[in-house]
Amino acid sequence: MEEQTSLRWWGKLHWQIFIAMGLAIPFGFWTGVPGAEAVGWMGELFLRLLKMVVVPLILFSIISGVCGVGSVSGVGRLGLKTVLYYVLTSSAAIMVGLLLANLIHPGDPSLQVLAGGSQPEVATQAPSLSELLFRMVPENPVEDMVYSGDDPTRGPNILGLIFFAVFFGMGILALPKERRDRARDMFETMFAVMMKITGWVIRLAPLGVFALLADVVGHTGFDAFVALGAYMLTVLAALLIHALVTLPLICLLVARRNPWKYAQALSPALATAFSSASSNAALPLTMESVEKRGGVPSRISSFVLPLGATVNMDGTALYECVAVIFIAQCYGVDLSFSQQLVVMLTALLASIGAAGIPHAGLVMMGIVLTAVGLPLTGIGLILAVDRILDMCRTTVNVFSDSIGAASVARLESPPGG
């Protein structure tokens, strides 16, 4: 974003987004539902534009990223480091959530009355390894790029799309040099085109962020926050510990970067993640921020970030653990150590299987509740404040993905580089 360095502060995108957020909260609070519905169309249109670019952006970025690695063996090395980072950070987030949920003990049987509201459809069993494997290997890659007509909220099969793109890129690497260079140049050009289109969409981010945040505040208000204050405090405290302690330490020790300066570079992406509550929707801006503002090489970010938006859900896994412990406490159920271990493992699997869309963590909550024998009606206890917490955990998800890109880039750099 070189052209933005000469702009005054109010002309820079991240400040425009923060101003939009600052205006949206009082607007939504004072105008309520009518005001939320009056501006809601702008937020929906912005999300549709982001969804429009997500699938081709992921496809071309992964293929060009794999081609940029240079060899098939290099792809395996890069993938192993990426997945290892995701598993370790998600596990660390889950442990923080479990620890705080047991220390603060936010649940109280008197809150059971909150479970009487309408329930979302939830999953009732954890995905098996074979189900995850079949989901990862697409039967028809083109079909997996399409948003589901039966359930449009679930979106395309991004995991399958990534798998196909990785193999496509590896196929290009296996070609003779002349053909390999031509194919690589073509996909790098297509990726550059998608980044240009993405930049045009991103310029609308302040309007989209204002509308999305005003819509949330206008519909939810602040009444439910009082009754569920201890639960919200527990989730937010755990998210803050992970975002302000665990991840910055990784950024400092592994990526060898100043966490504060790197977070500043990510500010447009983090603000969009917060307002949209969707890591997939924030992906275009995340890639632009990490590459152009954070200085991470495109060959790394174009591989690590799309994968992270699909399988790396630190905030979601943390939230699911705290929520399940909270629900158990409200029902007077004392989960044993072994049951909490089941919660931890199931939440990790569920977070991997969760789509990068709003309320995905809430939908996957049914898996974790069922694993320890808790009623699905317990989801009604947390429904009123889920949207706000969803925005917070999505921001942590995107921050973790971005630090993962910087960390893998550092690990992939040559000695002394």
Buried/exposed 338-359: b ≥16 CB within 10 Å, e otherwise: ebbebbbebbbbbbbbbbbbbb
Running along the chain, 417 residues long, what does each successive block of 10 average in pLDDT? 51 74 83 82 81 78 75 76 89 94 87 54 49 70 63 59 82 88 88 80 80 74 66 94 96 94 92 81 86 88 82 85 90 84 80 56 68 76 76 92 94 62
Give the pLDDT of residue 109: 80
The whole-angstrom separation of Cα 383 and Cα 385 is 6
Give the pLDDT of residue 242: 96
The whole-angstrom separation of Cα 314 and Cα 95 is 11
Q: Would you kindly state where each structural domain of the chain is located, as residue ranges?
A: 2-412
Tokens in use for 188? 């790098």
What are the angstrom distances between the C-alpha of 340 and each of 211, 327, 334?
39, 13, 10
DSSP code per residue over 194-250: HHHHHHHHHTTHHHHHHHHHHHHHHHH-SHHHHHTHHHHHHHHHHHHHIIIIIHHHH
What are the angstrom distances between the C-alpha of 146 and each of 56, 150, 152, 308?
11, 11, 9, 20
The whole-angstrom separation of Cα 23 and Cα 212 is 12
Task: Report DSSP state, residue 127.
Answer: P
The whole-angstrom separation of Cα 275 and Cα 85 is 26
What count of Cα atoms within 13 Å lies in the side-chain half-sphere of residue 318? 36
Buried/exposed 303-318: b ≥16 CB within 10 Å, e otherwise: bbbbbbbbbbbbbbbb
Report which of 45, 40, 22 is spatially closest to residue 205, judged by C-alpha positions: 45
The whole-angstrom separation of Cα 378 and Cα 263 is 36
Asked if residue 280 lies in contact with residue 54, where contact means CB atoms within 8 angstroms, the answer is yes
The whole-angstrom separation of Cα 394 and Cα 316 is 7
Report which of 212, 200, 285 is spatially closest to residue 42, judged by C-alpha positions: 212
Asked if residue 378 lies in contact with residue 330, where contact means CB atoms within 8 angstroms, the answer is yes
Residue at 304: amino acid letter:
V
Report which of 386, 114, 94, 385 is spatially closest to residue 242, judged by C-alpha positions: 94
The whole-angstrom separation of Cα 344 and Cα 91 is 8
What are the angstrom distances between the C-alpha of 53 and each of 57, 79, 288, 364?
6, 24, 13, 26
Tokens in use for 52? 């429009």
Give the pLDDT of residue 361: 61
Please calculate the CA angle 171-174-175 and round it to the nearest 5 degrees. 95
Give the pLDDT of residue 117: 45
Report which of 306, 387, 302, 311 is spatially closest to residue 89, judged by C-alpha positions: 311
What is 2-412's CATH topology? Answer: Proton glutamate symport protein (1.10.3860)
Give the pLDDT of residue 349: 72
Residue 197's Cβ-count burial label (10 Å; 0-12, 13-18, 19+) is middle
Length of the chain, please? Answer: 417
Give the pLDDT of residue 396: 94
Asked if residue 67 lies in contact with residue 172, where contact means CB atoms within 8 angstroms, the answer is yes
